[in-house]
Amino acid sequence: DAGVTQSPTHLIKTRGQQVTLRCSPKSGHDTVSWYQQALGQGPQFIFQYYEEEERQRGNFPDRFSGHQFPNYSSELNVNALLLGDSALYLCASSLVRGAADTQYFGPGTRLTVL
Amino acid sequence: AQKVTQAQTEISVVEKEDVTLDCVYETRDTTYYLFWYKQPPSGELVFLIRRNSFDEQNEISGRYSWNFQKSTSSFNFTITASQVVDSAVYFCALSELYSGGGADGLTFGKGTHLIIQP
């Protein structure tokens, strides 16, 4: 049973550029959440997708956007990159959105903005 | 607003010692969920336990045990007879239910870096 997968593993970008990160949920899961983890900090919730719509959003600017596809996979897009966007980006999937089901995390994408 | 506090930034113990990681949370909801995750150096968060606010029973799983006390808003995690492989960053997290029936994204503490020395 495949777990949550993310691509790419690492990414280096320069300020002002745009980036797209990808996530495939655990088999059978339909809800995907994205988190940003700065070095030495706990993960911070960016947003959650269910039925191809953004259902909830944390305290992140509109530069952060996403998409969920019919197969439940998801993308996170960040525009106009800032140095402060350098972080580990974690994707998590869960089975049942309304029941606070356990979120299972992928290995993350480490983004470095120069 | 919800908040999770892990006051211990780093703990270092010698192998086979018992160690307790503290977690204190704040929430205005009566229905919420608490979690512990382990993050080894590889970076992937590994789920350890989920507890809902109506279940205050302590839980034991092998060398791991959890003590949930609503009266003190704490959800502490104890590792008995620690091993080098337990070395990792451990995160406590909280999730509330919102009016639409779904669950909030997880609110994490800053984590406790646990070092088990051989």
**DSSP per-residue letters across A32-92:** EEEEEE-TTS--EEEEEEETTEEEEE-S--TTEEEEE-TTS-EEEEE-S--GGG-EEEEEE
Residue B66 forms contact with A (CB below 8 Å): no
pLDDT-derived band at B98 (thresholds 50, 70, 90) equals low
pLDDT-derived band at B103 (thresholds 50, 70, 90) equals low
Nearest CA in chain A to B105: A45
Considering only CB atoms, which chain B residues are within 8 Å of A58? 105
More confident residue, A98 or A84: A84
CB contact under 8 Å between B91 and A47, yes or no, is no
Distance from CA of A41 to the nearest CA of B (A): 5
In the predicted model, what is the mean pLDDT of residues B53-60?
A: 86
Residue A33 forms contact with B (CB below 8 Å): yes
Residue B104 clears pLDDT 70, i.e. is over it: no
Which of A41, A47, A98 comes nearest B101 by C-beta? Answer: A98
Which of A46, A102, A109, A110 is the best substitution to test chain B (most B C-beta atoms within 10 A)? A102
CA distance A36 to A12: 16
CA distance A38 to B61: 31
Q: What are phi and psi of A97, to 5 degrees?
A: -60, -45
Nearest CA in chain A to B96: A100
Q: Determine the pLDDT at residue B31.
A: 85
Which of B37, B45, B52, B107 is the best substitution to test chain A (most A C-beta atoms within 10 A)? B45
Residue A99 clears pLDDT 70, i.e. is over it: no
CB contact under 8 Å between B106 and A107, yes or no, is no
Residue B103 forms contact with A (CB below 8 Å): yes
CA distance B114 to B41: 11
